[in-house]
Amino acid sequence: MIAPAQPWSAIIAASRATDWSSAGATIVNRTRQCGATIAAYSGTAAKINNAISACPADRFVQLGAGTFNLSTEIQLSKSNVTLRGMGADQTNLNFTGTSGNSACAIGENRVVSLCTGGRNIAVADPEHTATWTAGYGKGTTVVTLSRTRGLEVGSTLWLDQVNDASDGFPAAGDLWICSGEAGCSNQGGGESFARAGRGQVEGQVVTAINGSNVTIAPGLRMPNYGAARSPGAWWGNATTILKNTGLENLTVDLTNSGGASGIYVVNATNCWVSGVRVVKADTGGSNIRQLSTINALNVTVKDSYFYGPPTTQLVSVYGISLHVTSSSLLQNNILHKNSAPIVPNSAYYGNVLGYNYVDAGLGASVVLHGVGAMNLYEGNNWGAFSGDVIHASHAFETLFRNHHDGREHNPNDTEASAAISLYSKNRFFNIIGNVLGTPHWTSYQSSQAHHQHAIYEFGWQGTGSGNPVPSDAHVLRTVLRWGNWDNVNSATRFLASEVPSGIPSFPNPVPASQALPTSFYLGRQPAWWTTPFGTPPWPPIGPDVAGGNISTSPTGGHANKIPARLCFENSGLDPAYPSSNPRIKLFGASSCYPRSGDGL
């Protein structure tokens, strides 16, 4: 079971949360260079791709300063190699024409691929599958499989089970993992890139194999596995999975790419994107992902900047999109003028989104769009958070010490106007220690009805096209709220009536104390917290924070600017994009976070 040392254990019941401390990659700062620095040039990406292919393990390929005008896709397809620029403000990869996805034939056309193979090992043609016959308890680290051929210590193992056929587990109104089932979602399809009808998918690392018993880390996150749901497993060969590979310190410009997506991280474990700027300065194309992960375990996206498209209309362009992703970390990123900044899109479990800043977003800063659970959202400064019901249900999500300020710096967000909108089938959420304030919010909560001026909107059926989904009283019934400050009450609320202590399934005892830990995943103040523009208090946001430095929205003094916001506000405008609206920032991670490589 979950160890009592978890920092949230005195607040959240063990059945409702997981261990987030190991999320993300172990990033290697490689110091040995492969060959000569590649100078800026115009042409295909073959020169860069060939250098990557020829690079020995644990070395990096260096791109020089200037603009690379590239007509084909970069294929970062070798494990234990880093592709590095001189900085996002110095090395610009300008892609011209529509690039393909030849390196990994999953998802949309894109300009940069981190992957080794060209297949979706879950849906199209799994390389290995097995029946999962024993070891179902939450926190379990040993599972029994019907076969282990092709499985090795260090392999990435995906564990799944079929969706619930009806509402819910263990009783109606409780946990309902679903996608296309009647009454569950408007459109289905919430488990994209997973095995069909199996939206509950957890990634694990194999640490030992003893016959049919497989030891895994970090252990099972969800509390509802069982033989009745036909548990199974799938995995790829060692050569199919990209490992320990990084993309660092450069700009990826999609403006002239003919509508291609940006960076795809596919069939990858312990890989990272760091100090990267992705720019889409035009409004063309659809179904574009500036960065997307698919079949990704322990992947980190940090210290990066995502811009565009510069439009006032909601379009199908996502900033960061997660598919079949576990134990990954999105940390200290800036999302600027995005139509949909962060979209967890299918089968996402045990991930952390920490200390990100969203500015001028058009839709809700986060939209839970596909099936997922047991993720942590901590310390972010954004406008609104939305769990929709268009594709699937969501459960056991934890929001901790975030600052939601509505339209204060996201003035065009009219899609999801409440601070936290949890539509029908968003159950067993934990909302703790957040600061929720803007003059637009004038009502505290609504249940089973739309209220764009509310702090909380619970259980509304939504307006998604397709199959109708009824409103849901169980969203409010199962939600845990503790220690949140909001501008409607102008007070922090520690109320036993807002703790679901009496529900029969997955209850949460009323916490014995109003004291909150500084973080649910970080053991201490991280090194990157110190910036040239000041060092924010640690923690920066929460009811126990006083004298906060944000004056643009009501906070009760409980919120400070996080490093990503300080970087955004203090970075100059990029003269290479004089006509962008709003103007693109001249972003360089080393200028904002000079100690980002020193630790957490």
For residue 580, the model assigns a pLDDT of 93
The tens digit of pLDDT for each residue in 114-161 reads 999 766 676 767 889 999 999 999 999 999 999 999 999 999 999 999
Strand pairing class (232-235; 156-161): antiparallel
For residue 2, the model assigns a pLDDT of 42
For residue 124, the model assigns a pLDDT of 64
Looking at the structure, tell me whether residues 231 and 249 fall in a common domain: no
Does residue 340 sit in helix, strand or coil?
A: strand
For residue 303, the model assigns a pLDDT of 98
Burial class of residue 151 (count of CB atoms within 10 Å of its CB; 0-12, 13-18, 19+): buried
For residue 533, the model assigns a pLDDT of 97
Q: Domain end: 179, 201, 235, which one?
A: 235
Distance set, CA 562 to CA 333, 403, 548, 592 (Å) = 11, 10, 11, 12
Domain count, the chain: 2
The residue behind tokens 């960065």 is 291
The tens digit of pLDDT for each residue in 64-103 reads 999 999 999 999 999 999 999 999 999 999 999 765 666 6
pLDDT above 80 (res 437): yes
Looking at the structure, tell me whether residues 280 and 220 fall in a common domain: no
What is the number of helices (H) and of strands (E) in the chain?
A: 4, 45
Q: Which carries the bigger pLDDT value, residue 1 or residue 458?
A: 458
Whole-angstrom distance, CA of residue 403 vs CA of residue 161: 35
For residue 3, the model assigns a pLDDT of 47
Residue 210 lies in a domain: yes
- Going by the DSSP 8-state scheme, the letter that residue 177 receives in this structure is -
| Longest Cα separation, the chain | 66
Whole-angstrom distance, CA of residue 61 vs CA of residue 47: 11
Torsion of CA 560, 566, 570, 572, to 10 degrees: -140
Contact 43, 64 (CB under 8 A): no
Contact 397, 427 (CB under 8 A): no
Q: Count other C-beta atoms under 10 Å from residue 124's C-beta.
A: 10
Residue 440 lies in a domain: yes
Looking at the structure, tell me whether residues 182 and 36 fall in a common domain: no
Q: What is the mean pLDDT of residues 159-187?
A: 92
The residue behind tokens 């509505």 is 406
For residue 238, the model assigns a pLDDT of 87
| CB-side neighbour CA atoms (13 Å) of 195 | 24
For residue 595, the model assigns a pLDDT of 81
**Full strand arrangement of the beta sheet holding 398-400:** 59-62, 81-84, 246-248, 272-274, 300-302, 329-331, 352-354, 376-378, 398-400, 430-432, 480-482
Contact 394, 415 (CB under 8 A): no
Concatenated DSSP letters of 464-507:
-SSS-----THHHHH-EEESEEETTTTEEE--GGGS-TT-SSS-
For residue 362, the model assigns a pLDDT of 87
Contact 311, 283 (CB under 8 A): yes
Looking at the structure, tell me whether residues 362 and 476 fall in a common domain: yes
- Helix or strand (DSSP H, E) at 569: helix 563-570
Q: What is the mean pLDDT of residues 234-258?
A: 95
- Helix or strand (DSSP H, E) at 566: helix 563-570
Q: Domain end: 498, 513, 544, which one?
A: 498
Q: Domain end: 235, 255, 289, which one?
A: 235
Looking at the structure, tell me whether residues 61 and 154 fall in a common domain: no
Q: What is the mean pLDDT of residues 564-587?
A: 97
Contact 252, 278 (CB under 8 A): yes
Q: What is the mean pLDDT of residues 315-339?
A: 95
- Going by the DSSP 8-state scheme, the letter that residue 527 receives in this structure is G
The tens digit of pLDDT for each residue in 484-493 reads 999 999 999 9
The residue behind tokens 């403006």 is 255
Looking at the structure, tell me whether residues 69 and 137 fall in a common domain: no
Indicate the average pLDDT of the chain: 94
Name residues whose C-beta falls within 8 Å of residue 563's C-beta, 6 or more positions apart in sequence: 332, 355, 528, 529, 531, 536, 592, 593
For residue 118, the model assigns a pLDDT of 61
Looking at the structure, tell me whether residues 230 and 246 fall in a common domain: no
pLDDT above 90 (res 299): yes
Looking at the structure, tell me whether residues 25 and 134 fall in a common domain: no
Contact 460, 446 (CB under 8 A): yes
The lowest-confidence range among 13-27, 315-329, 406-420, 523-537 is 406-420
Looking at the structure, tell me whether residues 350 and 445 fall in a common domain: yes
Whole-angstrom distance, CA of residue 408 vs CA of residue 356: 16
pTM above 0.95, yes or no: yes
Six-digit token string for 178: 């679903």
Looking at the structure, tell me whether residues 197 and 268 fall in a common domain: no
The residue behind tokens 């001026």 is 453
Bridge partners (DSSP) of residue 486 are: 436, 491
Residue 150 lies in a domain: yes
Question: What percent of the chain shows pLDDT beyond 70?
Answer: 96
For residue 287, the model assigns a pLDDT of 87
pLDDT band at 317, cuts 50/70/90? confident
- Helix or strand (DSSP H, E) at 329: strand 329-331
For residue 446, the model assigns a pLDDT of 97
Residue 494 lies in a domain: yes
Q: Which carries the bigger pLDDT value, residue 120 or residue 354?
A: 354
For residue 276, the model assigns a pLDDT of 98
Looking at the structure, tell me whether residues 231 and 267 fall in a common domain: no
Residue 526 lies in a domain: no
pLDDT band at 38, cuts 50/70/90? very high
pLDDT above 70 (res 302): yes
* Cα first-last separation, the chain: 26
Does residue 573 sit in helix, strand or coil?
A: strand
Q: Which of 234-238, 286-290, 294-298 has the highest mean pLDDT?
A: 294-298
Computed on alpha carbons and rounded to an integer, the radius of gyration of the chain in Å comes to: 23
Residue 22: CATH number of its domain: 2.160.20
The tens digit of pLDDT for each residue in 177-210 reads 998 777 899 998 888 899 999 999 999 999 999 9
Looking at the structure, tell me whether residues 175 and 286 fall in a common domain: no
Range of the domain at 189: 128-235
**CA pseudo-torsion sign 374, 376, 382, 384:** positive
The tens digit of pLDDT for each residue in 502-549 reads 999 999 999 999 999 999 999 999 999 999 999 999 999 999 999 999
For residue 465, the model assigns a pLDDT of 80
Residue 599 lies in a domain: no
Whole-angstrom distance, CA of residue 321 vs CA of residue 263: 10
The tens digit of pLDDT for each residue in 4-37 reads 469 999 999 999 999 999 999 999 999 999 999 9
Residue 45 lies in a domain: yes
Residue 592 lies in a domain: no
Buried b (16+ CB within 10 A) or exposed e, 344-355: bbbbbbbbbbbb
Distance set, CA 271 to CA 80, 207, 326, 396 (Å) = 9, 18, 13, 26
pLDDT band at 285, cuts 50/70/90? confident
